[in-house]
Amino acid sequence: MISYKDRTFCPFHEGCALGKHCDRALTDLVISEAIKWWGDVDAPISMFTEPPPCFETFQTLVETINGSDDDG
């Protein structure tokens, strides 16, 4: 199956603590570039159906940061 850039994009990036810097984020720019590449709004874009293993909630990130200062 063919898909844009032959990769899977993440529609969960906005809720991910790492999403702003993610190269797999399914952004409006990615969607518009895929449509331009395909020549139609039905561009084949592969997307995760649930948050991928790299997904990190903001709460988890805060706990990780706070826990790193924990003495035990």
**Domain map of the chain by residue range?**
4-67
pLDDT tens by residue, 28-61: 999 999 999 999 999 999 999 999 999 998 888 7
pLDDT tens by residue, 14-25: 999 999 999 999
Q: How confident is the model at residue 7 (pLDDT cuts 50, 70, 90)?
A: very high
Helices (H), 1-72: 28-38, 58-67
pLDDT value of residue 35: 98
66 or 51: which carries more pLDDT confidence?
Answer: 51
CA atoms of 34 and 4, how far apart (whole Å): 6
CA atoms of 69 and 44, how far apart (whole Å): 45
Residue of 47, 42, 41, 40 whose CA lies nearest to 5: 47
Q: How confident is the model at residue 68 (pLDDT cuts 50, 70, 90)?
A: low
- pLDDT of residue 71 exceeding 60, the answer is no
CB count in 10 Å sphere of residue 9: 22
